[in-house]
Structure 1
């Protein structure tokens, strides 16, 4: 590495966990707050990162530092950043360069960053974090030294300590230092899988995919179940559910999609005299069937996209009636969300473009002109006694199809 502050750093080359070169700093989110079992959360976080890196097109490596993960490899840094930002549990993603921990080389890296394409703006500030207290200069002294020498080497730059265009961060460890110039937001939350497994009732609308994503951010690994109206509806909703599950699997080790044809069972409920209770009776049948499926797949809870009062079936009384049929907790991450909030979130996670596509929603199949907003349990149980529910559920599950959206094969990742 050159020591002249006016020289450019050499072109990036393939580097392993112990070599200088480009890398990405991944700052831990809530994992940082964990106590004695923090290492278990970090291990889960790194496992999920390895899954996200599959198929990236080259070898990669992961290195653990103090409350930060360092990522690098024989692929463009931009590709590493894009994959890392999918991984739930990192609070921030920072493109960086790793250099030996001596002042001259740190300054050269800073000059290179602020005079190259990474520079966005005309003002800067230096912020140093000295993890290795044996480094001969204090953090404030490094700020001053690096800042002064960058000013001398890069024309047109000004210092702005309050609101800089570029915040250059220097993190000094014992053997190496990381210099970064951009802080991109991560998804934060808990590593997927650290809170257990859930089964998401996935429709084709905006709500349930956003609910699934929110569940993932609380550490739940998710499988999906989609109920369609076959044989009385087209497969359009199945295509949408597959596309949505594939998009959601970008944020987790891929979960399975179970597709269940509900049409005949819906007709049985109608023939049994459900009337204005039809929609709530269908929802009870869905959660009853999903709970049995969840038990078989190792899930410990169900997740739905219900938002309180959004439609007639989502009144407090009707949700309570649906919950009574479930043998597992029914989680509703969007309970207090407004519709526009849900749509905005769907756009940010990439599911909105799929959700807006036309399909045939099985919930509208055989739905009465008016849906009750206060379904009573006695009436629902009377309708259900006219059917052999255990037999209906078994028939639905026997005919279910299992799909694996988004599963990718790729190259392995080393750990250090």
Structure 2
């Protein structure tokens, strides 16, 4: 059944991981810029992996390999935003004979311990000089491997096992192990943002959504210090560390807001206390963002979720900001947010007990329709510029997830 081939070896060329480009593949003349950002973020994800690695981009594929366990490469690659899929592959010569021999070996290994297994072959001929079309390759290869692998049956609709075959100019990639990628735009391709990071479910999920739209994120956490314990700071650090798995690590800035909250209360904020302190947070965060070179703020607000997140109150908060305030979760329900937090790995941190600064000095009833004029009347009793400067002057900067020392950067083959 096999066509005649030359005398080239059928031996595998090695293992690798191929990452298929997601939204980046749709870009036009500036696509190279996005691909370069993807490669840089992949290098950052490989930092400290403990072995030599290499990266090569071929069209809409990025190929990753090295002298490290493939499982570790797959795990690191799955954290990188911008790839639609991550596949552990066997690289073989681009001859039909080599593809057939190694496909049989790969499927036998994949079927170990399984009973009857429905399978399908999905082929992609990127090298148009290859003698078979993608459809012909699927048929030829499926007919060849089925009788040689016990327990295989053809199931093209809902296969238990899919053999993926990518025929390229340099080599062919065979895979039975495919993981979904995080898709989206490469982190940093849309600019930089500062995330107002609390200890709850919402803001970490909002940060991740912002990253998936290409925003590199730093974080600012407002604690109730000196009137609250440091538990919320520990949580913010842990959350930022978890989020930094998905981007080149951003900084965490901790602002002790307690004394300023007390000043707002003494100034007679009353039912406006929560909205007034939110305005102070975005005012302070806007100034910090400007110093960091960020172009937007990100919050975890969801419309109507709590009293401070009514449309009127959010509009009043926005009026105090000097940068756009992005709310990726504005239309999400709470359960959707919790489910996403569990998928991200932040939920277990968010449920830990802490003393939330938003509860400090909070009135029994929060105004749901705060007016800007009323808020300004309260703020005029304070020197806001001096207050913001004092908050920023006492800021604490942390580097969650940044490892000590330097590891060799992976090389990039041309």
Matched, 1:377 2:361: no
1:308 is matched with which residue? 303
Deviation at 1:118, TM superposition (A): 6.5
Q: 2: distance between equivalents of 1:175 and 1:227?
A: 53
Q: 1: distance between equivalents of 2:268 and 2:250?
A: 37
Matched, 1:210 2:205: yes
Deviation at 1:250, TM superposition (A): 0.2
2:276 is matched with which residue? 281
CA contact (8 A) 1:118 1:181 kept: no
Counterpart among 26, 35, 45 of residue 38 in structure 2 = 45
Matched, 1:183 2:178: yes
Matched, 1:361 2:356: yes
What is the RMSD of the two structures over their aligned residues, measured on CA atoms?
1.5
Matched position secondary structure for 1:280: helix
Q: 2: distance between equivalents of 1:53 and 1:248?
A: 16
Matched, 1:401 2:361: no
Distance 1:109-1:222 versus aligned 2 partners, 3 A rule? same
Matched, 1:263 2:258: yes
Matched, 1:156 2:151: yes
Matched position secondary structure for 1:71: strand
CA contact (8 A) 2:111 2:117 kept: no
Q: 1: distance between equivalents of 2:156 and 2:340?
A: 34
1:329 is matched with which residue? 324
Q: 2: distance between equivalents of 1:118 and 1:232?
A: 60
2:84 is matched with which residue? 91
Q: Which shifted more, 121-130 or 34-43?
A: 121-130
Matched position secondary structure for 1:227: strand
TM-score w.r.t. the length of structure 1 is 0.94
Deviation at 1:410, TM superposition (A): 2.9
Matched position secondary structure for 1:168: strand
Matched position secondary structure for 2:177: coil
Deviation at 1:66, TM superposition (A): 1.8
Matched, 1:116 2:113: no
1:338 is matched with which residue? 333
CA contact (8 A) 1:45 1:191 kept: yes
CA contact (8 A) 2:191 2:214 kept: yes
Matched, 1:21 2:14: yes
Matched, 1:80 2:76: no
1:225 is matched with which residue? 220
CA contact (8 A) 1:224 1:255 kept: yes
Q: 2: distance between equivalents of 1:280 and 1:354?
A: 26
Deviation at 1:122, TM superposition (A): 1.1
CA contact (8 A) 1:56 1:411 kept: no
Distance 1:118-1:82 versus aligned 2 partners, 3 A rule? farther
2:412 is matched with which residue? 415
Counterpart among 170, 186, 200 of residue 165 in structure 2 = 170
1:16 is matched with which residue? none
CA contact (8 A) 1:257 1:404 kept: yes
Q: 1: distance between equivalents of 2:224 and 2:136?
A: 68
TM-score w.r.t. the length of structure 2 is 0.95
Deviation at 1:138, TM superposition (A): 2.2
CA deviations over 1:158-182 (Å, ceiling 9, x no partner): 1122221111111111221111112
Which runs of 5 or more residues in structure 2 are unaligned? none
State the number of aligned residues: 402
Which structure 2 residues correspond to residues 194-209 of structure 1 after superposition, within 5 A? 194-209=189-204
